[in-house]
């Protein structure tokens, strides 16, 4: 007689799927879906011609262009500098490393208005750094360059914290093996390190970019807020709200929301492609 092993049903630490899924849907509905739906419903009260007239006005288009260009530039800078910072924190041990590691999270804890005031004081024409840039003809504050600096400041932690776990998973022996096979530093970086961290790098880039699109507090002080020149989309939305133009504010907000969602969707698809390519290469 053969005894069949008895399989015990594995108990989940958390409650069952039905309860956890229901809580997840309820939480996301209350926090995300319902507010965003209200935004689109309010914008839908406008006719097609009215909606198009608001979102395609020259002032609105200028704010879109400035917001997208500076956010993209700041995310690109963070992708490079964030990789350098994460690599330094992961691969090297030096005095003050823990302090630098803690300072990376400072933009998370610091109120954005305070960071905006501090950056304006530093990069203004009479500021600590701005006074040296002014003789060179470089105006950082009250210029798109200042907006890019502010967005770079608030987006850096997203790239660093996303890259650190990926870099920690790469063993130093892998680089030594590549070097023993005759690979140079650039070849090792391009063929060994970059493919391994590319999904994480794209994730950090997308998070920094999405964060920059909706930034307000750290930008309004250093931007100068000149319409058609240094007025970002979030400031234009607040301006319309202050003028009780709720329809115009929701129309512009819906455009920015759609652009953010489309960009995040595209980057997520790119991440999936990079992950598949990395598995195929392995």
Query: What would the two tokens of residue 254 be?
Result: 């819906």
Q: Does residue 23 lie within any of the structural domains?
A: no
List Cβ<8 Å contacts ≥24 apart for 91-95.
Answer: 91/167, 91/172
| CA–CA distance, 181 with 3 (Å, rounded to integer) | 55
Would you say residue 239 lies in a domain?
Answer: yes
Let me know if residue 15 belongs to a domain. Answer: no
Instruction: Give the ranges where the chain is alpha helix by DSSP (H).
Output: 17-28, 34-44, 48-55, 58-91, 97-104, 106-109, 112-123, 130-133, 144-168, 172-180, 185-188, 194-213, 217-223, 233-242, 246-281
Whether 224 is in a domain gets the answer yes
**Number of C-alpha atoms within 13 angstroms, CB side, residue 189?**
6
Q: Structural domain tally of the chain?
A: 1
Establish if 32 belongs to a structural domain: no
Domain annotation covers residue 17: no
Q: 97 lies in a domain? A: yes
Give the domain extent around 204.
39-281
Q: Is residue 18 part of a domain?
A: no
**DSSP code at position 192:** I
Residue 271 near residue 199, CB atoms below 8 Å: yes
Other C-beta atoms lying within 10 Å of the C-beta of residue 256:
21
Question: What is the pTM for the complete model shown?
Answer: 0.81
Q: What is the pLDDT along the chain (282 residues), one digit of tens a residue?
A: 555 555 545 566 656 666 777 778 777 777 777 777 777 777 777 788 888 888 889 999 999 999 999 999 999 999 999 999 999 998 888 888 889 888 898 888 888 888 888 888 898 888 888 888 888 888 888 889 989 999 999 999 999 999 998 888 877 767 667 767 666 677 777 777 888 888 888 888 988 988 888 888 888 888 888 888 888 888 898 888 888 888 888 888 888 888 878 877 877 777 677 667 666 655
Here the CATH number for the domain that contains residue 226 is 1.10.3720.10
């Amino acid at each position: 007689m053969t005894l069949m092993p008895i399989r015990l049903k594995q108990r989940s630490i958390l409650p069952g799927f039905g309860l956890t899924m229901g809580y997840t849907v309820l939480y996301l509905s209350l926090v995300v879906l319902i507010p965003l739906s209200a935004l689109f419903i309010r914008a839908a009260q406008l006719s097609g011609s009215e909606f198009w007239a608001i979102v395609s006005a020259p002032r609105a288009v200028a704010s879109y262009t400035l917001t997208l260009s500076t956010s993209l530039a700041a995310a690109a800078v963070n992708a490079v500098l964030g990789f350098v910072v994460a690599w330094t924190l992961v691969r090297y041990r030096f005095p003050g490393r823990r302090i630098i590691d803690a300072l990376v999270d400072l933009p998370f804890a610091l109120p954005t208005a305070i960071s905006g005031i501090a950056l304006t004081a530093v990069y203004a024409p009479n500021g600590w750094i701005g006074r040296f840039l002014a003789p060179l003809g470089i105006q950082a504050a009250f210029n798109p360059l200042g907006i890019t600096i502010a967005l770079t400041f608030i987006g850096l932690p997203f790239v660093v914290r996303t890259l650190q776990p990926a870099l920690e998973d790469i063993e130093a022996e892998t680089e030594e093996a590549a070097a023993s096979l005759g690979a140079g530093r650039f070849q090792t970086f391009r063929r060994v390190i970059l493919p391994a961290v590319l999904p994480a790098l794209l994730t950090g880039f997308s998070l920094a970019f999405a964060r920059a699109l909706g930034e307000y507090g750290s930008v309004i002080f250093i931007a100068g807020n000149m319409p058609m020149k240094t007025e970002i989309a979030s400031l234009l939305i607040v301006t319309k709200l202050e003028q009780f133009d709720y329809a115009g504010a929701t129309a512009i907000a819906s455009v920015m929301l759609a652009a953010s969602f489309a960009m995040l969707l595209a980057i997520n698809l790119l991440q999936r492609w990079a992950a598949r390519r990395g598995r195929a290469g392995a």
